[in-house]
Amino acid sequence: MTATASARTASPTNRARWFDLSPTLLRTALPFVSLALMLVAIGWLNPRAISYMGFNLMLSLAIPVALATIAQMFVITVNELDLSAGLFISFITSVSVTMLNDTPLLGIAVIAGAVLVYAAVGALIHLRNLPSIVVTLGMAFVWQGLALMVLPQPGGRAPAWLQSLMAVHIPFVPFPIVAAVVIALVVHLALMKTSYGAVLRGIGGNQAAVARAGWSILHAKVLAFTLAGVFGVLSALALVGLSTAGDPNIGAGYTLLAIAGVILGGGEFMGGRVSAVGAVAGALTLTLASASLLSFMHIPTDWQTGANGLILIVVLALRAMIDRRPA
């Protein structure tokens, strides 16, 4: 009798705990469910695409997109937004197919200087309390102008070592999948398991509390923008290795694509809520949607960007439904 009463008393508590956890679990799983549904749709439309060679072809551009998404994620973590990311990638690709190929030391110096400029932009935004959207929008024009100065028209040649790196073949598992997993795990551990990772997320959640704890907000924001610059460089190098040539406008679409990848992966513009693993999953989903699914559905290229936006809206609508579930 007592045991039965205890069980009945405990039951509502257990149910309450289940409903408390359920929205969180669903929200975390949503990017991976979206990716799985994308793969199912592709497999249904073209079964031959679900193969070693098929994944290599479909996900070849996923590596630069994933790296660009991670770059944007670091900026969003500290409640800022980078509208210059895509054109920064264009500038680095222009340097990579010219200076880095012909005069490697000069190319390395220019790329390192560009990352330092990124760090300085983060410091300027914090010290002068400027809106990051306005500052980075201005920097987008700067990077575009510099890209056109270095490479006035498409051309150049990717360094041989970059081409070889991006052409690596790994047995059994396609290289883009291995690269995506490594990127996601390394950034996840850095962001979730280190003190500075906690500080970056803390600034997004409660900047005043982080400052009271003795951490420098300036140093943290400089670090966030520096990491964004580093991953932007990695994205550009991967893109050059795949395309084997340069284009001063090649990265123009990466700004919005990277923002969409972060949001699709469970990130928020405010509050320091981001997920490296989810961001990479979001980048893979968008890459598969634009490069494979929409092509298999014979959707015109001009409509593919709009279709990506529709995918993002649907996922955000599902996330809003999950967040409004009663506890």
Q: What is the pLDDT of residues 211-265, one digit of tens each?
A: 999 999 999 999 999 999 999 999 999 999 999 888 999 998 899 889 989 988 8
Distance CA 175, CA 172 (A): 9
| Residue 146, both tokens | 């510099």
For the whole model, what pTM was predicted?
Answer: 0.89
Q: Which residue in the block uniquely carries the two structure tokens 């790994």?
A: 170
**pLDDT in the model for residue 189:** 95
Residue 213's H or E segment, with its range, is none
**pLDDT in the model for residue 28:** 78
277 vs 317 pLDDT, higher one = 277
> Nearest-CA neighbor of 287 among 302, 304, 274?
304
Torsion of CA 223, 269, 147, 62, to 10 degrees: 100
Q: Which residue in the block uniquely carries the two structure tokens 């999948």?
A: 177
**pLDDT in the model for residue 24:** 67
User: Taking 90 as the threshold, does the pLDDT of residue 121 lie above it?
Assistant: yes
CATH 1.10.3470 fits 29-322, yes or no: yes
CA separation, residue 18 to residues 12, 14, 24, 151, 326 (Å): 10, 6, 10, 57, 11
Residue positions counted in the chain = 327
Distance CA 102, CA 74 (A): 32
159 contact partners, CB below 8 Å, separation of at least 6 = 96, 100, 101, 104, 240
Instruction: Label residue 156 left, alpha or beta by phi (over 0 means left) and psi (-120 to 50 means alpha).
Output: left
* H-helix segments, the chain: 2-45, 52-58, 62-77, 85-96, 99-102, 104-127, 132-150, 160-166, 175-192, 195-212, 217-243, 254-264, 276-288, 294-296, 301-323
Distance CA 241, CA 162 (A): 5
Distance CA 60, CA 255 (A): 19
Q: At what angle do helices 217-243 and 104-127 cross, to 10 degrees?
A: 140
User: Taking 50 as the threshold, does the pLDDT of residue 15 lie above it?
Assistant: no
Q: What is the mean pLDDT of residues 117-124?
A: 97
Distance CA 244, CA 238 (A): 10
> Nearest-CA neighbor of 244 among 156, 150, 176?
156
User: Is the separation of the CB atoms in 16 and 254 below 8 Å?
Assistant: no
**pLDDT in the model for residue 316:** 74
